[in-house]
């Protein structure tokens, strides 16, 4: 229960920072499109720095176990979600944007800073596998259903900066290579920018959204509540029914970190794909905006339910 309240507190802090970005645009100090260069810095500098920095730890059996456990958990979760969404698609008129929104969470920009704030920056190590697995699925499955074409170009996955940063970090971790102190300090500072910069960008995006449409469209609520409540509940029940944590209570923190990613709002990249492939970018952006607002309540709620059912 403690982690749920800690998560709520940190989300409120991040929402206040998001409000700064919102105000900057609404007051005319910045334009909505000014968020693009900031977003580029977050994507290509801050997130890779946080990932690499999280792997600069001494190797031991616990960390190797946690890395493998987090990776396996992420693969199983995404397979279950993709299978369930495909079955729903046979009964409901879901678009590719709808399906991708339900499946893929903002497990990078939002989750990394939250994990660093709640658990400590060194625990981003355990959040990286979920984001890496999700990135592979996004650049294959998600892009395919949004583009409405078969999966192609899997090589592009391995050109993704987050994936490359994970590989670099993993090599540093497995070989136990250390970085020069000046480079380590640089990574620390860049990693510290991740949370504030990400929230300012999201606030700037919200400032340009049609908030009336966001709050009055039933379809938006239905899809967002699937992403924020239904799908996390499925995962919580899977973990609870497996009984794994009854036998291995020492692994609880790994599942708690993964659950932050599981309960996160829709992935930002879905809207970017929608723009790229002319597939209702307005709806995709609205899902992202509404999901960010609702997650202030739903993420702590999901963590509370998780703690109550699995302990």
- Give per-residue pLDDT as tens, 274-287: 767 777 777 887 88
* Calpha distance 35→285 (Å, rounded): 14
Of the candidates 42, 83, 101, 90, the one whose C-alpha atom is nearest the C-alpha of residue 284 is 101
If pLDDT is split at 50, 70 and 90, which confidence band does 262 have?
very high
Distances (CA, A) of 171 to 41, 60, 71: 24, 15, 16
Whole-angstrom distance, CA of residue 245 vs CA of residue 129: 20
The CA distances from residue 11 to 42, 113, 171, 281, in Å, are 19, 10, 32, 26
| CA–CA distance, 308 with 311 (Å, rounded to integer) | 6
CB atoms within 10 A of CB 227: 28
> What pLDDT does residue 292 have?
82
Q: Where residue 149 falls among pLDDT bands split at 50, 70, 90?
A: confident
Distance CA 305, CA 311 (A): 10
Whether the predicted pLDDT of 153 surpasses 60:
no
Q: How many whole angstroms separate alpha carbon 292 and alpha carbon 279?
A: 21
- Bridge partner residues of 105 (DSSP): 266
- Arithmetic mean of pLDDT, 65-79: 94
Secondary structure class of 103 (helix, strand, coil): helix
Output the pLDDT for position 113. 78
Residue 306 has pLDDT above 80, yes or no: yes
Cα–Cα distance, 305 to 235 (Å, whole number): 11
Q: Distances in Å between the alpha carbon of 59 and those of 65, 167, 282?
A: 11, 16, 45
What domains does the chain contain, in order, with CATH numbers? 2-310 (1.20.1530)
Lowest pLDDT segment from 3-7, 30-34, 151-155: 151-155
238-262: b (≥16 Cβ within 10 Å) or e: ebbeeebbeeeeebeebbbbbbbbb
- Residue 158 DSSP class: G
> Is the model's pLDDT at 95 over the cut of 70?
yes
Please indicate, yes or no, whether the overall pTM of this predicted structure exceeds 0.75. yes
Distance CA 231, CA 223 (A): 11
Contacts 24+ apart (CB under 8 A), 77-82: 77/235, 77/258, 77/262, 78/103, 78/133, 78/134, 78/137, 80/234, 80/235, 80/238, 81/231, 81/234, 82/137, 82/141
* 191-222 pLDDT tens trace: 888 778 877 877 887 787 777 776 778 889 99
Distance CA(99)–CA(107), nearest Å, equals 17
pLDDT at 12 over 70: yes
């Amino acid at each position: 229960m403690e982690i749920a309240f800690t998560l709520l507190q940190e989300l409120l802090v991040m929402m206040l920072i998001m409000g700064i970005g919102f105000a900057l645009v609404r007051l005319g100090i910045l334009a909505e499109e000014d968020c693009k260069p900031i977003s580029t810095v977050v994507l290509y500098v801050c997130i890779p720095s946080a990932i690499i920095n999280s792997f600069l730890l001494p190797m031991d059996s616990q960390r190797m176990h946690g890395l493998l456990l987090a990776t396996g958990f992420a693969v199983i979760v995404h397979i279950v979600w993709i299978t369930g969404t495909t079955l729903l698609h046979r009964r409901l008129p879901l678009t590719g944007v709808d399906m991708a929104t339900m499946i893929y969470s903002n497990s990078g920009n939002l989750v990394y800073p939250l994990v660093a704030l709640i658990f400590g920056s060194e625990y981003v190590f355990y959040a990286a596998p979920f984001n890496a697995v999700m990135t592979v699925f996004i650049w294959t499955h998600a892009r395919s259903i949004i583009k409405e074409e078969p999966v192609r170009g899997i090589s592009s996955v391995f050109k993704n900066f987050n994936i490359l940063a994970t590989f670099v970090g993993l090599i540093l971790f497995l070989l136990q290579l250390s970085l020069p102190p000046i480079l380590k300090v640089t990574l620390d500072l860049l990693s510290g920018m991740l949370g504030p910069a990400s929230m300012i960008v999201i606030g700037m995006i919200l400032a340009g959204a049609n908030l009336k449409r966001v709050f009055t469209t039933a379809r938006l609520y239905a899809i967002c509540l699937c992403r924020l409540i239904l799908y996390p509940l499925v995962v919580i029940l899977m973990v609870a029914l497996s009984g794994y944590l009854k036998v291995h209570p020492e692994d609880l923190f790994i599942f708690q970190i993964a659950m932050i990613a599981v309960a996160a709002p829709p992935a930002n990249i879905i809207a970017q794909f929608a723009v790229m492939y002319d597939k209702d970018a307005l709806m995709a952006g609205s899902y992202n905006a509404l999901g960010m607002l609702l997650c202030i309540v739903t993420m702590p709620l999901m963590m509370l339910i998780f703690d109550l059912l699995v302990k």
